């Protein structure tokens, strides 16, 4: 005979089933909420770009020094004699070749004096020929006893005097020829006329500047630098020259370093030979020198920095907190900037991950995620 269950058993079974179903439902609901929280965190985490810190013991800064292009030779031209300017055969900006006659004085008086001396020379030459014939006859008659020694001496003295006079006239003619040549100006080298001080008809004194010529084929750059950098160039340090348009000047070489420190700027003059037709007289020339500095820090993008108080700057460091990625700020000091990056030192370490951009969107403790 079967034992009959109490009438309350079905109720107990039903309650147990309800409890088990509720537990399973709660467990499923908890898993679902956890998944939703993870998804929510992932959605709310701000996407960021990151950069990794690489600590270095030094950095190279680029120092720029400015000077000007100077012609290798610049000559003010003047007459060696005074007089009236009769011709200037060139003008501003014109190119001339070495040896070209570019200006003349009025030489009419010198030419007249030369003609007079030539006439005297011809007269003395004729007189000398007569004196030489007279001397020859006097010698012959003296030998035959028909002339006195006094007559012979007089004939000989007259011939000697005329010869000396002829030599003096020759010297005077050569002097006049020199003065006539000095009454014109020739280009001492090929170049361009860069100044014209007088015009035709002007009476000038000896040494008065009339024109200025500038050499085109050879240009120099004169740049003042602190002794430290000038001496480093003297010992072989590299230097880069750029023209007024910031274009690199290829082929420029160091010409000389003047070992004198100027009183006002406390710099030394460094001169460079520039390639032909590469720069214009007076153009600004920049010398860029690499200067290595000992410092413990790292290069960071400029956009990874934001200003802070007391002259410091702020960067955001990514760190793990309870399985999440959050940010906190670190202070750094800028030592040098170059283009879109800066060399900084501060409370950062090698291997730190920093926010590389979008600093204005962040706050300390904010949840972030690295953008793919």
Read off the CATH number of the domain in which 348 is found. Answer: 2.40.420.20
- For residues 103 and 88, what is the distance between their CA atoms, to the nearest angstrom? 4
Look at residues 212, 254, 261, 217 and name the one whose alpha carbon lies nearest to residue 235: 254
For residue 131, what is the domain's CATH number? 2.40.50.100
Q: Are 272 and 255 in contact (CB under 8 A)?
A: yes
The full length of the chain comes to: 372
Identify whether 19 is part of a domain. no
Domain assignment of residue 23, yes or no: no
In a domain, 10, yes or no: no
pTM over 0.75: no
Of 291, 314, 339, the last residue of a domain is: 291
pLDDT given for residue 14 in this prediction? 60
Q: Are residues 104 and 172 located together in one domain of the fold?
A: yes
pLDDT of residue 84: 93
Beta carbons within 10 angstroms of residue 219's beta carbon: 24
Together in a domain, 229 and 327: no
Per DSSP bridges, beta strands 83-88 and 184-186 are unpaired
**Domain check: are 164 and 225 in the same one?**
no
pLDDT for res 33:
39
Look at residue 332 and give its three-state secondary structure.
strand
- Spacing of C-alpha 345 from chain mean position: 32
The residue out of 155, 180, 213 marking a domain boundary is 213
The predicted pLDDT at position 144 comes to 73
Distance of alpha carbon 273 from alpha carbon 251, whole angstroms:
9
**Are 50 and 147 in a shared domain?**
no
In a domain, 308, yes or no: yes
Alpha-carbon gap, residue 136 to 292, rounded angstroms = 95
Residue 372, pLDDT score: 53
Question: Does residue 110 sit in the same domain as residue 170?
Answer: yes
Q: Does residue 33 belong to any structural domain of this protein?
A: no
Q: What is the CATH number of the domain that holds 228?
A: 2.40.30.170
Q: Write the CB contacts of 305 (distance below 8 Å, at least 6 apart in sequence).
A: 313, 314, 315, 332, 334, 342, 344, 359
Backbone CA torsion sign across 294, 296, 300, 304 = negative
Q: Does any domain span residue 128? A: yes
Domains of the chain: total: 3
Domain ranges, residue 56: 46-61+293-370
Same domain, 276 and 209: no
Same domain as 155, residue 243:
no
Q: Are residues 188 and 120 in the same domain?
A: yes
Question: How do the pLDDT tens digits run along the chain, 372 residues long?
Answer: 444 444 455 565 565 556 565 555 545 444 443 444 444 444 578 888 999 999 999 998 888 999 999 988 899 999 999 999 999 999 998 999 999 999 999 999 999 999 999 999 899 889 888 888 887 877 777 777 666 777 777 878 888 888 898 899 999 999 999 999 999 999 999 999 999 999 999 999 999 999 999 988 888 999 999 998 998 888 888 899 999 888 999 988 899 998 888 878 889 999 999 988 888 888 999 999 988 889 999 999 999 998 887 778 999 999 888 888 899 989 999 999 988 999 999 999 999 999 998 878 888 888 988 875
> What is the rounded CA–CA span in Å between residue 90 and residue 100?
10
Q: Are residues 135 and 221 in the same domain?
A: no
Question: Do both 222 and 335 map to the same domain?
Answer: no
Q: Are residues 280 and 336 in the same domain?
A: no
79, 68: one domain: no
Domain boundary among 151, 178, 213: 213
For residue 294, what are the β-bridge partners? 58
Q: Does 361 map to a domain?
A: yes
In a domain, residue 3? The reply is no
């Amino acid at each position: 005979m079967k034992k009959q269950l109490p009438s309350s058993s079905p109720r107990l079974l039903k309650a147990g089933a309800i409890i088990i179903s509720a537990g399973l439902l709660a467990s499923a609901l908890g898993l679902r909420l956890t998944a939703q929280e993870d998804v929510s965190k992932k959605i709310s985490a701000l996407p960021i770009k990151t950069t990794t810190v690489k600590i270095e013991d030094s950095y190279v800064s680029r120092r720029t020094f400015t000077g000007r292009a100077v012609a290798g030779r610049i000559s003010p031209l003047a007459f060696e004699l005074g007089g009236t300017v009769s011709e200037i055969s060139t003008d501003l900006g014109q190119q001339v070749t070495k040896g070209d006659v570019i200006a003349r004085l009025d030489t009419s008086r010198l030419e007249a004096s030369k003609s007079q001396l030539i006439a005297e020379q011809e007269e003395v030459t004729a007189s000398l020929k007569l004196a030489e014939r007279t001397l020859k006859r006097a010698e012959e008659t003296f030998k035959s006893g028909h002339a006195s020694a006094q007559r012979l001496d007089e004939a000989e003295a007259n011939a000697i005097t005329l010869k000396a006079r002829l030599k003096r006239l020759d010297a005077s003619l050569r002097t006049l020829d020199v003065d006539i040549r000095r009454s014109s100006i020739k280009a001492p080298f090929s170049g361009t006329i860069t100044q014209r001080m007088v015009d035709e008809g002007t009476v000038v004194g000896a040494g008065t500047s009339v024109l200025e010529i500038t050499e085109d084929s050879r240009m120099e750059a004169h740049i003042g630098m602190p002794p430290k950098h000038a001496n480093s160039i003297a010992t072989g340090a590299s230097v880069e020259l750029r023209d007024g348009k910031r274009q690199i000047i290829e082929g420029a070489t160091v010409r000389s370093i003047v070992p004198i420190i100027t009183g006002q700027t406390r710099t030394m003059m460094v001169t460079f030979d520039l390639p032909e037709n590469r720069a214009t007289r007076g153009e600004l020339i920049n010398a860029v020198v690499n200067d290595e500095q000992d410092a413990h820090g790292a290069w960071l993008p400029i956009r990874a920095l934001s200003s802070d108080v007391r002259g410091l700057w702020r960067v955001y460091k990514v760190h793990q907190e309870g399985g999440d990625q959050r940010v906190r700020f670190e202070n750094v000091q800028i030592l040098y900037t170059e283009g879109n990056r800066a060399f900084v030192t501060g409370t950062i370490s090698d291997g730190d991950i920093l926010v590389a951009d979008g600093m204005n969107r962040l706050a300390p403790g904010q949840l972030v995620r690295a953008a793919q």
